[in-house]
A = this chain, B = another copy of it.
Amino acid sequence: MDNRKIGVFDSGLGGLTAVKEIMSLFPDESIVYFGDTGRVPYGTRSKETILKYTYDDINFLLSCDVKMIVIACGTASSAALPEIKTEFNVPIYGVVDSGAYEAARVTKNNKIGIIGTTATIKSGAYNKYLAEYNNKVQTFEKACPLFVPLVENGHFDTPVTKLVVEEYLKDIKDAGVDTLILGCTHYPLLKSAISKYMGDDVTLVSPGEEVAKFLRKKITPLNAHSEIRDRDQYSYYVSDSIENFEELGGIFLETKINGKVNKIDIEKY
């Protein structure tokens, strides 16, 4: 038994998708979430800066006495996690591992598409994890840097989004993949537009949703279950305005989080 919290972080809001799944699969666990809204996005930055920000985020969560950390950010999971994984005293899981695991499990023709931020695609991290789970897999990758701003501006399924989806996904579609990894926590919000273009036969994998199932395999061996369940079970921290996060976060989680969000100076960690 370990009553300490599970720490989750993302560059912004998107990681709340993972939080929602963890809440649902592990109702007895306490969760502390950090969204680095003052420095989002990570996906366009250099590896060096992504590493620095990832260290800050992990150090903040460690200061909250967590028993494990989930990196819900596709960019930090792929560009930073492989390098820093063993430097801390708590286990750290990323969405890349869980997304690769699920994609390798569901593909039938072993052709998998991977989309993500520029930094995620550049890291090649999905390929490495996929090769561990299924060495017959052939991958087709594409960085989709306009997807995050489209989501953040409410362009979920508009004519603009349709044009951008076509531009980015044409080669992957033509390659005949039967599985597509949405390797950034923002992308599931474009599922409808992506699915219309790729067709019903292509399975879309959202790593943020898979990470909770993945944790279930990990938490039992760690004997890290918790049995605390109270009003203060969930807490949220951000590095920019609380108001924006409360409003949009509530939509992501489908529950009000007003009054539970605090602002921190992440540059101090």
Contacts and interface: CB of A to CB of B under 8 A. Distances in A.
A260 to B, nearest CB: 18
For this chain, the copies found in one complex come to: 2
A153 B145 contact: yes
Nearest to A144: B153
Interface string A140-162: 00000110111011010001100
**Number of chain A interface residues as a range:** 20 to 34
B49 A240 contact: yes
Given A48-B241, A240-B46, A149 B145 contact: yes
B241 A44 contact: no
Given A163-B159, A164-B160, A152 B46 contact: no
A145 B153 CA distance: 7
For the complex of A and B, list the 7 residue pairs with the smallest distance between their C-beta atoms, beginning with the closest: A46-B241, A149-B149, A267-B267, A49-B240, A160-B163, A145-B153, A38-B49
Interface of A: 37-39, 44-46, 48-49, 145-146, 148-150, 152-153, 155, 159-160, 163-164, 167, 239-241, 243-244, 267
